[in-house]
Amino acid sequence: MIDLMTLCAFNAAYAMTIDSDALEEWPEYFSEDTHYRITHIENENENLPAGIVYADSRNMLIDRIAALRLANIYERQRYRHILGIPAIVQQNSEATYAHTPFMVARIMATGQTDVFATGFYKDKFVKSDAPASKANSFGIVLKERIAVCDSTVTDTLLALPL
């Protein structure tokens, strides 16, 4: 069983990792065979499987960060994640399923700050035997994280992960 405080601490560290631009550490929160996807509520309700980001391995997440650092061009920007308390929807000896609401502000280099995304993480957490990494010392990893945005619209572009 994974307790609520562990989930909260995990999510807090996850958010700080992205918001402090330690993006290289972001994949450490995921299992090797993870599924990570960013979509929105309408696709989710209609069972449309595509995402604006779609990964079925941790390596794909590492690649995405590498692309952001080396290949992609976008204006300097930061996020501020505000995460709610995880609602544990199902739990067994194998995995813990939780929904956690998020609100993400995007701060552009110009100073413009907007609510960029709201929604919830649809998560499947599993225990991990892997040694604690710099970012993730919680003994759990995300086997699945689907960031379900409330709005169908993405403003301008999405570079940094949610």
Partner 1 sequence: MDTQRIHWKSDSLTRIPYSIYNDVEIAEQEKLDIFHGKTWNFLCLEADLQDAGDYRTTHVGETPVVVVKDQDQQIYAFENRCAHRGALIALEKSGKDASFQCVYHAWSYNRQGDLTGVAFAKGVKGQGGMPASFCKEEHGPRKLRVSVFCGLVFGTFSEETPDIEIYLGPEICARIQRVLHKPIQVIGRFTQALPNNWKLYVENVKDSYHASLLHMFFTTFKLNRLSQKGGVIVDPTGGHHVSYSIVENDSADNSYKDQAIRADNDQYLLKDRSLLAGFKEYDDGITLQILSMFPGFVLQQIQNCLAVRQVLPKGVGRTELNWTYFGYADDTPEQRKTRLKQSNLIGPAGFISMEDGAVGGFVQRGIQGAQDHEAVVEMGGDHTGSSEGRATETSVRGFWKAYRSHMKI
Residues near partner 1 (CB under 8 A): 38-40, 42-43, 48-57, 59-60, 62-64, 66-67, 70-75, 152-159
Sorted by sequence, the CB contacts under 8 Å of residue 46 that are 6+ apart come out as: none
Q: Which residue's CB is nearer to partner 1, number 45 or number 93? A: 45
Q: How far apart (Å, rounded) are the C-alpha atoms in residues 90 and 92?
A: 7
Q: How far apart (Å, rounded) are the C-alpha atoms in residues 96 and 90?
A: 6
Q: Which residue's CB is nearer to partner 1, number 40 or number 143? A: 40
CB of residue 157 vs partner 1: minimum separation in angstroms?
4
User: 3-class DSSP state for residue 157?
Assistant: coil
User: 3-class DSSP state for residue 3?
Assistant: coil
